[in-house]
């Protein structure tokens, strides 16, 4: 699974960071992003990433299987 985040849509609500802090983080500039090393999601985290994508109020998170 690959994950990407569209910063132009993100409302910085923090939901994805709360649901899956291993993959999503707040960057130094105050935006939310996928951690560089987590763009290819480890299989054990796929469920949490899917939950974060489903819960994103801005549909800013895209997953590819």
Total of residues contacting ligand SF4 (CB under 6 A): 14
Q: What is the Cα 15 distance to its own chain's centre?
A: 9
DSSP-assigned letter for residue 39: S
Cα radius of gyration rounded to whole Å, the chain:
10
- Nearer CB in complex with ligand SF4: 32/41: 32
Tokens coding 50: 């899917």
Site for ligand SF4 in 2-61 (CB under 6 A): 5, 10-16, 32, 56-58, 60-61
For ligand SF4, the binding residues (CB under 6 A) are: 5, 10-16, 32, 56-58, 60-61
């Amino acid at each position: 699974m690959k994950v990407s985040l569209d910063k132009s849509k993100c409302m910085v609500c923090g939901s994805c960071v709360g649901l899956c802090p291993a993959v999503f983080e707040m960057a130094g500039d105050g935006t939310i992003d996928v951690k560089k090393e987590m763009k290819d999601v480890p299989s054990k985290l796929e469920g949490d990433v899917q939950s974060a994508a489903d819960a994103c109020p801005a549909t800013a998170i895209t997953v590819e299987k």
